[in-house]
């Protein structure tokens, strides 16, 4: 597919994801020259702001509306400056920085109430063939058909752990997302390099939509689980964990597109966290099509703050002992 065309549906795989695709998640309304307004924003339960992946996807969609011809996004670099709210739609202002023969560049500023809350720089490339072609191999993991949905995963976890109470609204929220996910089981993590793998695909049939829609949908989905991988070695979601998460929020996000794909077909998202320190955590990801092609790579850094209950307890006991120590 050196021409950059979107692969056709693989009917032999028995895909049943044929409901109409709900494009409202990424839909934009033009309100001025190179200025677009969102029509839908999702704020996850318990989040301090709207879902960052939706802002990323909408920003890419806005940038693409100002690019003509066969150009396709090859990279997107984003910075989150402030939390967005879902009570006011986001305005995306696009600046045409460069229009070259092979590459074009756009800058997108996302605003609410006149304040910039998000900035992205997108690069678009005219498709070209190259004899240089290599990639990391796709890991051998169970296929999505052998795994359960995220909603069912929550239900089973609640049944297995009587001490864990999962709000039904959280399960309902998963089922309403435009992306469905199935987590690949991994061995118990050890301190070191946490690895997570998730099968993702857009709900509904995206046939007839241009490649930018598939790229924008994957940009949306690429924000799932990426920063969360930085907390996996500490088992913060388990009862009795000595570590407690106090803050997790994205600072920046990057996605590189390598090859054509369909966002409405299963894609394997392999995520690692090579480092967490100084109140920040780094997650990196590789996204593969079902046939093993590495179609995209991601990276995200965020504020990741937590407390160590054991250390805090020891510090408290030490300070308390000083109060009762004999005066010298």
In tens, the pLDDT along 284-308 reads 999 999 999 999 999 999 988 877 8
Q: Taking 80 as the threshold, does the pLDDT of residue 116 lie above it?
A: yes
Q: What band does 15 get if pLDDT is binned at 50, 70 and 90? A: low
Q: What band does 144 get if pLDDT is binned at 50, 70 and 90? A: very high
Residue 273 lies in a domain: yes
Average pLDDT over residues 246-266: 93
Q: Are 291 and 272 contacting, i.e. CB atoms less than 8 angstroms apart?
A: no
Residue 217's SS3 state is: helix
The verdict on whether 135 is a catalytic residue reads no
Residue 71 lies in a domain: yes
CATH number, domain containing residue 306: 2.40.160.210
Residue 287 lies in a domain: yes
Residue 136 lies in a domain: no
Query: What pLDDT is attached to residue 96?
Result: 98
Beta strands in the chain (DSSP E): 28-32, 35-38, 72-80, 91-99, 103-112, 115-125, 179-184, 195-202, 243-257, 267-277, 280-289, 294-308
Residue 139 lies in a domain: no
Average pLDDT over residues 107-134: 96
The verdict on whether 300 is a catalytic residue reads yes
Of the residues 223, 229, 289, 297, only one is catalytic, namely: 223
Average pLDDT over residues 189-198: 66
pLDDT in tens, 75-95: 999 999 999 999 999 999 999
Average pLDDT over residues 246-267: 94
Task: Specify the number of domains making up the chain.
Answer: 1
Residue 278 lies in a domain: yes
Query: Which of 231, 224, 247, 210 has the alpha carbon at shortest distance from 298?
Result: 224
Residue 182 lies in a domain: yes
Of the residues 112, 215, 250, 297, only one is catalytic, namely: 250
Full domain range(s) for residue 250: 15-128+147-323
Which is more confident, 55 or 312?
A: 55
Residue 111 lies in a domain: yes
């Amino acid at each position: 597919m050196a021409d950059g065309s979107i692969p056709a549906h693989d009917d032999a795989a028995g895909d049943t994801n044929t409901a109409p695709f709900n494009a409202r998640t990424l839909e934009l309304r033009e309100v001025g020259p190179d200025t677009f307004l969102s029509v839908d924003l999702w704020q996850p339960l318990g989040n301090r702001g709207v879902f960052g992946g939706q802002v990323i996807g909408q920003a890419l969609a806005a940038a693409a509306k100002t690019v003509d011809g066969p150009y396709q996004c090859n990279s997107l670099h984003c910075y989150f400056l402030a939390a967005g709210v879902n009570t006011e739609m986001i305005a995306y202002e696009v600046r045409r920085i460069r229009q070259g023969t092979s590459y074009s560049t756009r800058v997108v500023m996302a605003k609410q109430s006149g304040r910039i809350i998000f900035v992205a720089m997108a690069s678009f490339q005219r498709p070209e063939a190259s004899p240089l072609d290599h990639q990391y191999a796709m890991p051998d993991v169970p296929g999505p058909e052998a795994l359960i949905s995220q909603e069912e995963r929550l239900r089973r976890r609640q049944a297995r752990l009587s001490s864990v109470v999962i709000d039904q609204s959280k399960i309902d929220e998963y089922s309403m997302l435009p992306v469905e996910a199935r987590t690949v089981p991994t061995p118990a993590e050890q301190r070191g390099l946490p690895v997570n793998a998730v099968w993702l695909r857009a709900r509904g049939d995206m046939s007839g939509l241009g490649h930018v829609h598939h790229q924008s949908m994957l940009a949306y989905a690429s924000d799932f689980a990426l920063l969360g991988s930085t907390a996996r070695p500490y088992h913060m979601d388990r009862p009795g964990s000595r570590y407690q998460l106090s803050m997790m929020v994205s600072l920046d996000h990057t996605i590189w597109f390598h090859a054509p794909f369909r966002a409405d077909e299963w894609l394997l998202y392999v995520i690692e966290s090579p480092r967490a320190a100084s109140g920040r955590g780094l997650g990196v990801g590789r996204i593969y099509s079902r046939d093993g092609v590495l179609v995209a790579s991601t990276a995200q850094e965020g504020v990741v703050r937590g407390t160590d209950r054991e250390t805090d307890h020891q510090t408290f006991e030490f300070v308390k002992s000083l109060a009762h120590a004999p005066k010298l």
